[in-house]
Amino acid sequence: MNEGVRSMRGGYLAIALGCALAAGCTTSPHAAASATDARALCPSQDFGTFLQRYADPADSKVRSEFTADPLEYEVPTHRVEDETASSPPTHVSRQTGPARLDLFQYRYFKGAGVFDRIAPGEPASGAAAHTPYPVAISVTANNGRQVVFGAEYEVDTFRFERKHDCWYLTRAIDLRD
């Protein structure tokens, strides 16, 4: 083998080994740019502010961009099929396309500083009285968030996972009877 080729191979090996040890070359420039783009597109790194932007009635683009497709939708089994003794208590389906966005029916009204539930088909601007819904936010695994709207038996739960430097709605849970 030519001495020059052997020397070049050794040089590439040294560069690759140096990158691996320094963890400076573990992502491609494209992947690094994608992560930067995702961070720039994220409405906020603060989850409370992110949720307000996500629920903004004037900007459905945020909901569209940060809702998983497919979105997991969990309901009591008896709402989708006849229950038997061996039926699981809940049924999870995968909602795709624009219909998945209808599962998050809460909007944040900046002027009133409240979240309100908007009935399907009702325009968000048509909500006459913005009744504040109780909202509880808790941290889940991997810095995700679980958001619960309502109280007692009238609750809707939404799970957001942290991915690509932002939060994405990955599961909507409606366990009402």
The residues spanned by each domain of the chain are 1-41, 44-173
Around Cβ 175, how many Cβ atoms within 10 Å? 14
If you classify domain 44-173 with CATH, what class do you get? alpha beta
pLDDT of amino acid 84:
87
User: Which pLDDT does position 129 carry in this prediction?
Assistant: 60
> What is the pLDDT at residue 43?
96
Rounded distance between C-alpha atoms, residue 174 and residue 102, angstroms: 13
The residue behind tokens 């083998």 is: 1
**How much of the chain exceeds pLDDT 70, in percent?**
72
What pLDDT, on a 0 to 100 scale, did the predictor assign at position 153? 83
Mean pLDDT over each residue of the chain, to the nearest integer: 79
Query: How many CB atoms neighbour CB 161 within 10 A?
Result: 17
Other C-beta atoms closer than 10 Å to the C-beta of 66 total 20
Q: What is the pLDDT of residue 45?
A: 96
Looking at this protein, which amino acid is placed at residue 152? E
Model pLDDT, residue 67:
97
Residue ranges for the chain with pLDDT beneath 70: 1-40, 124-130, 177
Can you give the pLDDT at residue 15?
37
**Residue carrying structure tokens 């491609």:** 28
Q: Could you give the CA distance from residue 45 to residue 50 in angstroms, rounded to a whole number?
A: 7
